[in-house]
A = this chain, B = another copy of it.
Amino acid sequence: MTVSIDLGELAKHIGARLEGTTTQQHVSGIASLDRATSEQVSFFSNRAYRTELQKTQAAAVILKDDDRVDCPVAVLIMDNPYLGYARAAAWFNPVPPVVAGIHPSAVVDETAIIAASACVGANAVIEAHVQVGECSVVGPGSWLQTGVIVGQHCRLIAKVSLLTGTCLGNRVWVHPGAVLGADGFGLANDRGVWVKIPQLGGVRIGDDVEIGANTTIDRGALGDTVIEHGVKLDNQIQIAHNVHIGAHTAIAGCVGIAGSAHIGQHCMIAGGVGIVGHIEIVDHVHITGGSVVLQSITQPGVYSSGTPLQTNATWHRNYHRFKQLDELAKRLHVVERKVAQTS
């Protein structure tokens, strides 16, 4: 099925100003600058692709006013072309409608309350007292343990595990393999032997949250683990018990957040970051890829840790010198004093 729209309508829909062509020209999709045909739009938001912009054959390009000089075709001008791309792509590729009903192979407890407009896929397992809201999808092979609550317009794509104590808001998307509400890693030590601490809290997920494939979010030990509205989590993230993530924070893949860490709102945490437990990160903090956070962050800003990649031989020399860093600093201080005395 191809959907098409005229450029005037599209401009209105994405919030852009059309120039360089008539509003009646129809387009039927979006593609990258080098692949877009004369019946597709494209976008320009990363200056590394300026050459592709100059050669594009797209019907029109979504871009900033400053960049129009390099565009050989019609333009859709807006301040945030990447947002224009998101809106146009969503217009051309609407989320498929929910096909209501419960697949005959699904195992649904009779006490579960599944909205009439909801969809339960093949081989899904839904236990007692679960609630699934209107227009939500419980994809194939998903498992909702006793008492789980899923709001409206949610999409559990497939093979999602939601354990007792998990509650999702509305419009929450969860990708395959994600596990929400498994026991946190709570242990007391009894003369060398670990004793399990029962994990009694839940997982509360706000509205408009997206959770990536194979991501895990543990239930709280006593209180809940909380993910506020609009948080976006990529794949293979580990969120430990009693973590709190503020609204509209985005976290990229392979991040690990230890227990009871409190992350602010509107933060951006890049891939592979590790965050220690029992610390606080204020709002509007951006942590770059691969950093390790061992202390609270009390001021907004961009933060980093780590060492540069080098050829192995060069790195090896500097790597070993790191062991002497404190000694080198002290030796420098001694030399400085001696030089000051002699001059």
Contact = CB atoms under 8 A, between A and B. Distances in A.
Contact of A140 (B143, B305, B332): B143
Interface string A209-240: 01011101010001100000010101110101
Interface in A279-334: 287-295, 297, 301-326, 328-329, 331-332
B85 A197 contact: yes
Interface in A168-183: 173, 175-177, 179, 182-183
Interface stretch (A4-12, A68-76, A112-120, A266-274): A266-274
B157 A182 contact: yes
Interface string A101-124: 001010100000000000001110
A17 interface: no
Size bracket of the A interface: 35 or more
Interface string A67-99: 000000000000010110111011011010000
A3 interface: no
A190 B83 contact: yes
Given A200-B93, A235-B218, A307 B319 contact: yes
Nearest to A231: B194
Given A192-B248, A238-B271, 6 more contacts: A89-B198, A90-B197, A123-B141, A176-B182, A236-B256, A338-B343
Interface of A: 30-32, 35, 46, 48, 80, 82-83, 85-87, 89-90, 92-93, 95, 103, 105, 107, 121-123, 125, 140-141, 143, 145, 157-159, 161, 163, 173, 175-177, 179, 182-183, 185-190, 192-198, 200, 210, 212-214, 216, 218, 222-223, 230, 232, 234-236, 238, 240, 248, 250, 252-254, 256, 258, 266, 270-272, 274, 276, 278, 287-295, 297, 301-326, 328-329, 331-332, 335-336, 338-339, 342-343
